Amino acid sequence: MTTVDGHETSRTAGADGRRFAARETLTDREPSGAHSPQSPERPEPSCRRWGREVATVDGRESPSVAGADGRRPAARETLTDQRPPDAHAPATPEPSETPEPSGPSRPPEASRRQRRRGRSRRAKIAAVAVAVAAGGAATAAALNLTGDAASEQTARGLPPSTAKVTRETLRDTQDADGVLAYGEQTAATSRLRGTLTALPDSGDRITRGKTVYRVDDKPVTLMYGSRPMYRDLRPGVEGEDVHQLERNLQALGYDGFTVDDEYTGDTADAVREWQDDRGLDETGVVELGRVLFTPGAIRVDSLEAGEGDPVSPGRKVLNYTGTEKAVTVQLEATDQRLAKEGADVEVTMPDDQKVQGRVDEVSTVIEPGGSGEEPQTKVEVTVALEGRRAQQAAEPYAMAAVDVTFTAGTRENVLTVPIAALLALREGGFGVEVVQGGRSSYVPVRTGLFADGKVEISGSGITEGTVVGMPK
């Protein structure tokens, strides 16, 4: 509080350090005669809107809007001080007049106390909301608008900048780092006892019906299927593993049996024919460990044993992956909304070539913390590269870092404005300042998707091409 020419003045500073609002309180004066000097004129309160003055009407300040320059947004309404009528008190002089003495003078402190009791403090200060959305922050102004009056209240002065409402498709996207490789590695474990007599080389690709490795010079054959072999398959047994074997026999060209979950004599005949072709004893029984079932063709990643090594059930022989490249991404647990199985993604290769991918698998992993640190929960996402073009683009890279763009939401053919055009209304919600014919007015709007620095809006009178106010 400072005193100037007998006036006490209080000022409020904004976030940028500027003093943008003022209130004046008349201090007590000793009664003066006809020769007393004139009182200085009372300055009108004012505030800044995007860095410029806003007019004051009937003792009220216009709403103040903070722009991108970081000034504190504020909307303030100041009512002039009023005193209740007092028959024994002198009338409050006009600012331009010198008050006439009435009755005996009072000590200054007593007079101040009486004025503080008699004065009605009715100033109201409105806090402002700050809109933050989708990778960017928008500074919004709090406006004292309610109901239909909001759309009719005219802004004092025009905004320093404008933008047009546009119609477009908004996409809420997020980029993440990924690793391009052949996907998860799996170990091939022997279920047979004997000696390894043949092994593939690292990098070899093996398809259905081909030999994976040999034990005692007899082949272990690759077939496609998701269920691992866990028993001998012979006439009389039933189950999904039987169905899986019969599908493979049919795919390899053997027939004369019904493809179902029953191992019949006809199935045994087809197995004998297959055994003869593979150089196996023609027993009509597929012994445990003679077939390696995998979801598809495999690529040998590394060897766990060498030729001549003895093997027994449970001994690891080699590690394999799929033959198609895939991308692995680790997301924070808070970004799990991005990881939806079957969702389309875009993968950017090291040479900036963009290809399409699809979320194939989503799992939660726990990463152990270091010394004194808590374990962290991550979301691991496997992205399959879609189509021949994507696989060809990935072919030159055995392993590489890539960028993966996830799309969390899409809104097609909607009206949008820059997020900075939003104004936060005091009663809640948002609005925009519509500029038309040299005047502007505040119009409430409904918001939708926030993306790429823009926001979807709708509201009364909001159409494509509408001009709205913007901060500097």
Residues 405-449: pLDDT tens digits?
A: 998 888 999 999 999 999 998 888 999 999 998 899 999 999 999
Question: Which CATH number characterizes residue 153's domain?
Answer: 2.40.420.20
pLDDT beneath 50, residues of the chain = 1-155
297 and 281 Cβ atoms separated by less than 8 Å: no
Parent domain of 50: 2-126
* Residue closest to 81 by CA, chosen among 121, 111, 54: 121
Q: Distance between CA 187 and CA 319 in Å, rounded? A: 4
Q: How many domains does the chain have?
A: 4
Q: Residue 254 is which amino acid? A: Y
**Region of residue 329 (left: phi > 0; alpha: psi -120 to 50; beta: else):** beta
pLDDT for residue 125:
29
List, in order, residues 6 or more apart from 465 with CB less than 8 Å away.
Answer: 164, 165
Based on the fold, state whether residues 269 and 364 are members of the same structural domain.
no
CATH number at residue 289: 1.10.101.10
- Do 27 and 36 contact (CB within 8 A), yes or no? no
Domain boundary among 299, 322, 345: 322
Q: Among 410, 293, 396, which Cα is nearest to 353's?
A: 396
> CA neighbours within 13 Å on the CB side: how many for 463?
2
Q: Token pair for residue 1?
A: 């509080």
Q: What pLDDT is stored for residue 366 in this prediction?
A: 86
Same domain, 218 and 265: yes
330 and 254 both lie in a single domain:
no
Cα–Cα dist 266/284, whole Å: 10
Return the closest-CA partner of residue 312 out of 188, 198, 196, 194.
Answer: 194
Using the CB atoms, write b or e for 144-177: b if 16+ within 10 Å.
bbeeeebbebebbeebeeebebeeeebebbbebe
Task: Report residue 111 CA to chain centroid gap.
Answer: 61
Q: What is the pTM of this model?
A: 0.51
Burial label for 130, CB within 10 Å (0-12, 13-18, 19+), is: middle
Q: How far apart are CA 379 and CA 243, in angstroms?
A: 35
Query: Which residue, among 172, 125, 94, 98, has the nearest Cα to 416 in the 3D structure?
Result: 172
Statement to judge: residues 209 and 282 lie in one domain: yes
DSSP H or E run through 325: none
Q: What secondary structure does DSSP assign to 347-400, as a single string?
A: EE-TTS-EEEEEEEEEEEEEEPP-TT---EEEEEEEEEEPHHHHHHHHTT-SSE
Give residue 95's region: left, alpha or beta (phi > 0; psi -120 to 50): alpha
User: What per-residue confidence (pLDDT) applies to 156?
Assistant: 55
Confidence at residue 139, expressed as pLDDT on a 0 to 100 scale: 37
pLDDT score at 452: 87
State which of 408, 431, 448 marks the end of a domain.
408
Compute φ and ψ for 130, nearest 5 degrees.
-115, 120
Residues 196 and 266 in one domain: yes
pLDDT of 228: 95
Residue 385: give its domain's CATH number: 2.40.30.170
Residues 22 and 100 in one domain: yes
Q: Are residues 307 and 330 in the same domain?
A: no
Domain shared by 318 and 226, yes or no: yes
Last residue of a domain, one of 384, 408, 432: 408
Are residues 221 and 317 part of one domain? yes
CB atoms inside a 10 Å sphere around CB 232: 13
211 plus 316 within the same structural domain: yes
91 shares its domain with 149: no
317 and 330 in a common domain: no
